[in-house]
Amino acid sequence: MTHSPSSISRPLPVPPPLSARARLAKWWRGEATAPAKRVQFDRPLTPWVFLLPQLAVVVIFFYWPSVQAVTSSFYLEDPFGFSATFVGLDNYTDALSSGEYLSTATFTAGFALVVTALSLGLGLLLAVKADKVIRGASIYKTVLISVYAIAPPVAALIGMMLFDMHIGPFTQLAGLFGYDLKVGVNYWDTAFAMTLIAVWKQIPYNFIFFLSGLQSVPVSVREAALIDARTGWARFKDVILPLLAPTAFFLLIINITYALFDTFAIIDVIVKDKPANNPMTLVYKIYLDGFKGNDIGGSSAQSVILMVIVAALTVVQFRFLERRVHYG
């Protein structure tokens, strides 16, 4: 996040405990109940003092930049920031009618979809397998989780070493099969490397959550399923998976956010010193246009569009998907 322009809304930076999510979801549906215990303050200002740090963070880092972004999206600013001309919706029409913008948007959607699907799927697979390991379980888990401790740019650097066009083992491996892998030059080769690194980086996160979700499935319920269902697949599909649904829903939101925003560092490392025509996400394009291209107005318009898309996505997720989730 630190690299990305400040005007982007991040849906739900919510801590994991289930109750918090359930409460948030309730609040979203407008069913928020009165808190169990009401705290009385002697002076009316006291609660606001307690709220101040949190409010300050939200206002300074979210509302203020958002307003800035919306405002500057209606202006055309000169590169040195001396003057700005009101241009109405021109920045928006420019962005939406630009083929480059649309192809980046398409790539972003595909990238988010693939990264989310793969990192959720592989994370779940590894968690299910790790859950069954009894001997050496802690070593196995530590090895899987340790990747999460690597910072995204470092992960991308490691990835680029592996994909290096001269000495990268992956490039050599592809060469063995007669394929000339050109990461950083060929659009789809770069997209492949980008996806692989992004997925690799995210798997441990999903793994941790899925594993703890699996371990919270009551033993006796598993045993009841062992008697009721004949195949491991039936037990997993009918009993374990529905009980994992709250975890999966939470991870889905987090993973989409990750693919859209938090892959910035990875993309930056992969594409910044490479020739043009490399794939990138909308967030990275906003950064490029705004800070490299000095087109603050256009970049702001793009970030407002992204904000709207993400907001819409969040609504869809909570309104339609969450209904199907059973909270224990």
Partner 1 sequence: MAEITLKNVGKTYAGGVTAVSEVNLEIRDGEFIVLVGPSGCGKSTLLRMVAGLEEISTGEVAIGARVVNKIEPSERDIAMVFQNYALYPHMTVRENMAYGLKNRKTPKGEIEARVAEAARMLELNAYLDRKPRALSGGQRQRVAMGRAIVRQPEAFLFDEPLSNLDAKLRVSMRGEIRKLQRRLGTTALYVTHDQLEAMTLADRLVVLNGGRVEQVGTPLEVYHRPATTFVAAFIGSPAMNLLDAHVVGGRVILEGHDMGPAQAPDGPVTLGIRAEELQSAPRGLPVKLDYVEELGASRILHVAAGGQYLAFVQSPEIAIPEQIYLTVRPQALHLFDTATGARIGQVPAPVAEPVP
Q: Whole-number minimum distance, CB 227 to partner 1, in Å? A: 5
Cβ-based nearer residue to partner 1, 150 or 245? 245
Backbone angles phi, psi at 84, to 5 degrees: -140, 140
Cβ-based nearer residue to partner 1, 166 or 326? 326
Q: Whole-number minimum distance, CB 46 to partner 1, in Å? A: 38
Q: Give the footprint of partner 1 on this chain (CB under 8 A).
A: 218, 220-221, 223-230, 234, 238-239, 242-243, 245, 326, 328
CA distance 105 to 61: 25
Q: Whole-number minimum distance, CB 32 to partner 1, in Å? A: 20
CA distance 36 to 32: 11
Q: Whole-number minimum distance, CB 262 to partner 1, in Å? A: 31
Q: Whole-number minimum distance, CB 325 to partner 1, in Å? A: 9
Q: What does the block give as tokens for 181?
A: 């892998």
Q: What does the block give as tokens for 204?
A: 């441990």
Q: Whole-number minimum distance, CB 308 to partner 1, in Å? A: 35
Contact 264, 36 (CB under 8 A): no
Contact 258, 115 (CB under 8 A): yes
Cβ-based nearer residue to partner 1, 125 or 217? 217
Q: Whole-number minimum distance, CB 27 to partner 1, in Å? A: 21
Q: Whole-number minimum distance, CB 123 to partner 1, in Å? A: 21
